[in-house]
Structure 1
Amino acid sequence: MPLPPITVHRRAAPLAVVLVLLLSGCTTADDPSPGASSNSSDSSESETASKTVVLNPHPESPTVLGAGGESSSVAASRAFFASSPVAVVLAAPGSTGSPDWPPPAIGPATTAAAGLGVPLLVVDSTGNEAEVATELERLGTTSVVLFGTPTAGWEPIVGGLEQVPGPDDAEGFREDLQLTIEPSITETSALIDSIAAMQPGESLLLPVLPSPAPPPAEPADPAVAADPAAPASASESVASANSSGSGTHAAAAEASTSEPGTSSGTDPAGLPAFRRAEVAADAVVLATPDPASAAAVTTARAAGALVRVVAEPDPRADTETIAFLREHRDSALFGVGNAFGDQGTFAEHSAVALDAPELPGGGQTVFPGRRMIALYGHPSGGSLGVLGEQGIDASIQRAKDTAALYAPHSPEPVIPAFEIITTVASAEAGADGNYSTESRIEDLESWVDAAGKAGVYVVLDLQSGGSSFPDQAKLYEDLLKRPHVGLALDAEWRLAPGQRPLDQIGTVDAAEINETSQWLADLTRTNTLPQKLLILHQFNLGMISNRDAIDVSHSELAISLHADGHGTPGEKLDTWNVLRKGLQPQIWMGWKNFYDEDSPTFTPEQTFTNVEPTPWFVSYQ
């Protein structure tokens, strides 16, 4: 619905703390016709058009707002608005993401921008004044609503534009902007949720966050000094924010009387009459709860875009977000903030969210959305592990039963899994001379496909002998194209020329691991698959050389270091702690329980409570 024409009169008032926004539907007595100029009722069509907010009909997407050098507030304005006769500009003392962000005036600024349906631009301490000025010029803005005061004043940014002091109480919003608001208190952590939930025409909660309370005044009688630790009431908190509003109204009024190109402080003229965009932007925005995204999210909502607040900055991360994106498949898609990655990464992740199957347990990223409990072995029989002690159906049930034992001890869903030894280290060199027996794909396919149908994740384990891990992995490309199939590299059995299994512990260099991970990441990306698990088996430091050079940058993969040591609880925990030392934080830790070699075998509760940090992948042999 178009916004009625607006006539603004300057006034001064104190700052509120959190605002509930009610969009007014009335017109002023001076401007009875919607869209009429505040100075003339017979404006030309071109003048009327210049006083209408115009949105970009087809925003470019998928796009990260704020990726690269452009601030997210300017990026959002450029993405959604083709022109806007009015803009809201906030001067912040710090920069988005700094400890002093968000400033107390963020609430009134978001309220004004959302209520008027115009962009919110932030001038911060990063020296982006010219960037904001350029954006105002691109928008064709003639009037600005100002909150706060930049270090160098408003002149370099908005000197030639009509300046309207940002209102700081309910009366100011009603008289100056024709918006009805009520004070309310909201936690900083709920700022983005409040903005995302705004519904034009209804009561809307928007926070104005107070700056730190000033020190208590010296009491007249020291004997009755107030306790500084006593909690402030809600009304006192509001007053504190009012006093810390950095003189928004007064500073802007002063600028209006002293800077060239602005009207007198006593001149009743303010914002021109204008219409907000009549059709909402066909776009959806993903944002984390980080208050640094407040301005960009506000601009998106001012344009009518839908906003979803997500815990993880990845479109693939959870089932609800995937469903949301698929429901709005034809809408432009944006992520707010660098946490979503660069433009290419965000586009690839978005494509997966829209078109790839989900993993067992939901979502399309392996961790942290689930933990896995796996049976390890080969389908040929029990001599290589518990997986082969029973047939397919019984193994699936056993994996589910084992995972269920862990569920009471995990806040994350616990998913059953198979780790199938796909190439088996052999005492005989074999026809190819590599001391590794490669299973035929047709012998594994029934296990892999039955597991997928039953919601069981599958990892193909390579004991490559004298063959390289990349060469062996490529033999199983068809299986690895399944969305629920990952890969494991078992360095114990990676042999150098002239070596034989069991004569020594094998070793692999990070370069070979990286070659394998690059191939697997490319396969995953090219086939639009959900993220894949890549396990690196290790029980002593010599098994992986140059471990700190392992490439952990592939977002298509979740890399796990799997601690394979067996023995007493103390020995296993010592191995665990040694392997963790110096490990890249992007690598997820895994653990193995042995039924026969451990003495005793950890219980599920002990595995998830005595081992720190809690393993993400646990296998049984």
Structure 2
Amino acid sequence: MRFSLAALSVLALSQLTGCSTQSKQDDSSKTGKIAVEAAAKSPEAARTTADSSETPTAAAAPTTRSGTASTGDPSLDSLTYAPTGALLPKYRIFAYYGNPHSKKMGALGKYPKEEMLRRLDEEIKNWQKADPATPIQPALHLVATSAQGLAGKDGGYRMRMSDKTIKKVLKWGNEHKAIVFLDIQRGHAPLGPEMAYMEKYLKLPFVHLGIDPEFSMVTGAKPGTKIGSYDAADVNQAVQFLSRIVKENNLPPKVLVVHRFTQGMIKNYKNIKLDPNVQIVMDMDGWGPPVLKKDSYHDYIQKEPVQYTGFKLFYENDFRKPGSRIMTPAEVLALDPKPMYIQYQ
């Protein structure tokens, strides 16, 4: 999600910037200015309206329970959906992105639960028609740690969604046979503790991880004022974290989604190390007309390959420029390499 984040405090939610940065922006000296100007023009400014009263604490894959360790939480252990084996490349993952507390953050929270899941299924049918040979694994992609414009008590510029919110989305996924991604926008907070907060959920076979470099503010800037970044070492840290969980809990490989839409968001990509327990998806998630999205995919995903690729589509922002439109499944699947992870916001 491009430059949509909330300045969350104990008493109120205030809006900081707009939503989305256009595809094909490089990290030259003018990138920050362009990005902030683009964000300021956006009418979609809410990152998430998480309830501050909460205390933080298609053709689906086979569903035989895998994994032997308890999460330590009976309410989580009761969630029995358990795809087996590696999802990629046997399945194409199709995800709705967002947060249930915000209608403006993405499809996941824009509609009531039943309507959202119905729309997800209808969209999956369109993609299945475009590529009948590849079964689709439904997914929900929750922003579980949200960057924010206020520092907070610990100076982290982020808010973790509560146990209540995360479990709600996990229950939706379990009921719908959809995998769930927990996405981290770390702000100024170290990545390690943010991942550790998600560990008990990641012990479930159907739960996976996303990390968003846009809101990894290594320069110390506030989230939303500049585009952040991750180094290969950070991606490797996430891979090692997930690999340990897989080995300790006898789980099928985890999927790690890494968002990207500029050159500078991922540094030293050649140093990213693959692990048989983790499947890495580099997800091109900038918005804009098809020609810009294709260029971004070529320059930042195809030319700097890691493992698997993803592509993000925006129900609103891809229409923001005159004459723009959302790409069709056939157009996206004509890309090389063919994306195996599709995300709609």
Shorter-chain TM range is 0.7 to 0.9
Q: Which residue of the partner structure matches residue 136 of structure 2? A: 414
Which residue of 213, 227, 232 maps to 1:510? Answer: 232
Q: How far does residue 497 in structure 1 lie from its aligned partner after superposition?
A: 5.2
Secondary structure in structure 2 of the residue aligned to 1:535: strand
Pick 1 or 2: higher relative contact order, CA cutoff 8 A, min separation 6. Answer: 2
1:593 aligns with 2:318: no
Q: Which residue of the partner structure matches residue 539 of structure 1? A: 261
Q: Which amino acid aligns with 2:181?
A: V
- CA contact under 8 A between 1:419 and 1:460: conserved in structure 2? yes
Q: How far does residue 584 in structure 1 lie from its aligned partner after superposition?
A: 4.0
Which structure has the larger Rg over C-alpha atoms?
1
Q: List structure 1 segments (4+ residues) > 6 angstroms apart after TM superposition.
A: none
Instruction: Write the distance in 2 (CA, Å) between the matches of 1:556 and 1:453.
Output: 26
1:604 aligns with 2:329: yes
Instruction: Write the distance in 2 (CA, Å) between the matches of 1:470 and 1:596.
Output: 33
- CA contact under 8 A between 2:147 and 2:157: conserved in structure 1? yes
1:567 aligns with 2:297: no
- CA contact under 8 A between 1:466 and 1:496: conserved in structure 2? yes
Q: Which residue of the partner structure matches residue 186 of structure 2? A: 464
Q: Deviations over 1:217-250 (max 9, x none)?
A: xxxxxxxxxxxxxxxxxxxxxxxxxxxxxxxxxx
- CA contact under 8 A between 1:524 and 1:532: conserved in structure 2? yes
Instruction: Write the distance in 2 (CA, Å) between the matches of 1:505 and 1:497.
Output: 10
Distance 1:382 1:528, change over 3 A: same
Q: How does 1:126-525 map to 2 (within 5 A)?
A: 358-359=82-83, 363-410=84-131, 411-496=133-218, 498-525=220-247
Q: Which residue of the partner structure matches residue 614 of structure 1? A: 338
Instruction: Write the distance in 2 (CA, Å) between the matches of 1:570 and 1:584.
Output: 20
Which residue of 297, 306, 310 maps to 1:576? Answer: 297
Secondary structure in structure 1 of the residue aligned to 2:104: helix
- CA contact under 8 A between 1:399 and 1:418: conserved in structure 2? no
Distance 1:603 1:582, change over 3 A: closer
User: How high is the sequence identity, in percent, across the aligned residues?
Assistant: 28
Q: Deviations over 1:415-442 (max 9, x none)?
A: 2211111111111111121111110122
Instruction: Write the distance in 2 (CA, Å) between the matches of 1:357 and 1:422.
Output: 20
Instruction: Write the distance in 1 (CA, Å) between the matches of 2:262 and 2:204.
Output: 32
Q: Deviations over 1:59-116 (max 9, x none)?
A: xxxxxxxxxxxxxxxxxxxxxxxxxxxxxxxxxxxxxxxxxxxxxxxxxxxxxxxxxx
Any stretches of 5+ residues in structure 1 without a counterpart? 1-317, 323-355
Please provide the CA RMSD for this pair.
2.1
- CA contact under 8 A between 2:302 and 2:337: conserved in structure 1? no
Q: How far does residue 600 in structure 1 lie from its aligned partner after superposition?
A: 0.6
Instruction: Write the distance in 2 (CA, Å) between the matches of 1:588 and 1:374.
Output: 15
Instruction: Write the distance in 2 (CA, Å) between the matches of 1:413 and 1:434.
Output: 40
Distance 1:521 1:357, change over 3 A: farther
Distance 1:376 1:546, change over 3 A: same
Instruction: Write the distance in 2 (CA, Å) between the matches of 1:357 and 1:445.
Output: 14
- CA contact under 8 A between 2:81 and 2:177: conserved in structure 1? no
Q: How far does residue 358 in structure 1 lie from its aligned partner after superposition?
A: 4.3
Distance 1:407 1:581, change over 3 A: closer
Instruction: Write the distance in 2 (CA, Å) between the matches of 1:582 and 1:593.
Output: 20
Q: How far does residue 462 in structure 1 lie from its aligned partner after superposition?
A: 0.7
TM-score, with length taken from structure 2: 0.73
1:529 aligns with 2:255: no
Q: Which residue of the partner structure matches residue 23 of structure 2? A: none
- CA contact under 8 A between 2:215 and 2:228: conserved in structure 1? yes
Q: How far does residue 502 in structure 1 lie from its aligned partner after superposition?
A: 1.5
- CA contact under 8 A between 1:458 and 1:484: conserved in structure 2? yes
Q: How far does residue 450 in structure 1 lie from its aligned partner after superposition?
A: 2.3
Q: Which amino acid aligns with 1:603?
A: T
Instruction: Write the distance in 1 (CA, Å) between the matches of 2:81 and 2:245.
Output: 15
Instruction: Write the distance in 1 (CA, Å) between the matches of 2:237 and 2:336.
Output: 31
TM-score, with length taken from structure 1: 0.41
Instruction: Write the distance in 1 (CA, Å) between the matches of 2:266 and 2:130.
Output: 32
Instruction: Write the distance in 2 (CA, Å) between the matches of 1:589 and 1:370.
Output: 13
Q: Deviations over 1:439-463 (max 9, x none)?
A: 0122110211221231111111111
Q: How far does residue 401 in structure 1 lie from its aligned partner after superposition?
A: 1.8
Instruction: Write the distance in 1 (CA, Å) between the matches of 2:245 and 2:337.
Output: 31
- CA contact under 8 A between 2:81 and 2:174: conserved in structure 1? no
Q: Deviations over 1:381-413 (max 9, x none)?
A: 212111101233332222222111100122110
- CA contact under 8 A between 2:255 and 2:281: conserved in structure 1? yes
- CA contact under 8 A between 2:284 and 2:301: conserved in structure 1? no
Instruction: Write the distance in 2 (CA, Å) between the matches of 1:484 and 1:547.
Output: 27
Instruction: Write the distance in 2 (CA, Å) between the matches of 1:444 and 1:482.
Output: 13
Q: Deviations over 1:267-299 (max 9, x none)?
A: xxxxxxxxxxxxxxxxxxxxxxxxxxxxxxxxx
Secondary structure in structure 2 of the residue aligned to 1:430: coil
Instruction: Write the distance in 2 (CA, Å) between the matches of 1:365 and 1:418.
Output: 18
- CA contact under 8 A between 1:392 and 1:447: conserved in structure 2? no
Instruction: Write the distance in 1 (CA, Å) between the matches of 2:309 and 2:267.
Output: 18
Q: Which residue of the partner structure matches residue 220 of structure 1? A: none
Instruction: Write the distance in 1 (CA, Å) between the matches of 2:160 and 2:168.
Output: 16
Secondary structure in structure 2 of the residue aligned to 1:574: helix
- CA contact under 8 A between 1:396 and 1:451: conserved in structure 2? no
